[in-house]
Structure 1
């Protein structure tokens, strides 16, 4: 005699598979973690205000050669002279400073000079070219 096995009717599965949702959420979280630091990084810049026509400014040029020597408007200066010149530049309302650094100069030298410029409070500053300085 053959016994018949009773097979129960399949019950509908009412739960949602959340694994794909968790995967998408983790990918979005990683994207946000990587992109937020770039979006919040700021460099403080004072932009000029349109005040009408002004006379052209005669910029002073501070150059750093490949050996790290400083030049102010073409003449060599020492590190001790730089703060006094920057203070005089800051006192001049039309004073502008252009910095030019030889591409072979060490970055730490450029960074040290730029820190002196920042401490002096020079606000009108520009960076000029990337060509080697003439000898």
Structure 2
């Protein structure tokens, strides 16, 4: 835009009629970034129906098998020593074929080697036991 003033006459400049769109674009970009950040959080939600206070207790208490791993790498089945891995797998197989599988609570000693714990876990998984849990983690803290 140019201002033409003739010599000898005083004229006021014409007002500028263009809109400055830079602030508008900045606000839109900020809103777009906020939208991009918040949408994935909403899409990764998992709907879980938790039981209420009036939920009935389970019909029967689960059978629990305490499987301990000693510091020297031996296994104890409910306090009874297991001869070897074949004996452990036989006991796990018996547990797997029960109509209601027992819960296997694996409690390793903090000085036990990892291979004894991993052997028990892999045998239980291979045989088909599904209710396995590690207990006694407070000793590792």
TM-score per shorter chain, which class?
Answer: 0.5 to 0.7
| 1:36, distance to aligned residue in structure 2 (A) | 7.3
Q: Where does structure 2 lack aligned partners over 5 or more consecutive residues?
A: 1-6, 47-55
The partner residue of 2:126 within 109, 115, 119 is 119
2:113 is equivalent to residue 84 of structure 1 = no
- Aligned CA distance change for structure 1 residues 32 and 111 (closer, same or farther; 3 Å): farther
| 1:131, distance to aligned residue in structure 2 (A) | 5.4
- Aligned CA distance change for structure 1 residues 131 and 10 (closer, same or farther; 3 Å): closer
Q: Secondary structure at the match of 1:17?
A: helix
Distance 1:70 1:31 in 2: 50
Q: Where does structure 1 lack aligned partners over 5 or more consecutive residues?
A: 41-49
The TM-score, its normalising length taken from structure 1, stands at: 0.58
The partner residue of 2:13 within 4, 7, 10 is 7
Q: Secondary structure at the match of 1:115?
A: helix
Over the aligned positions, Cα root-mean-square deviation in angstroms equals 3.9
Q: Secondary structure at the match of 2:67?
A: strand
Equivalent residues of 2:70, 2:112 under 8 A apart: yes
| 1:112, distance to aligned residue in structure 2 (A) | 4.8
The TM-score, its normalising length taken from structure 2, stands at: 0.56
Equivalent residues of 1:60, 1:72 under 8 A apart: yes
Distance 1:87 1:57 in 2: 18
The partner residue of 1:70 within 63, 70, 75 is 75
Equivalent residues of 1:62, 1:99 under 8 A apart: yes
Deviations 1:88-126 (A, max 9, x none): 111223441222123455667545532321221113334
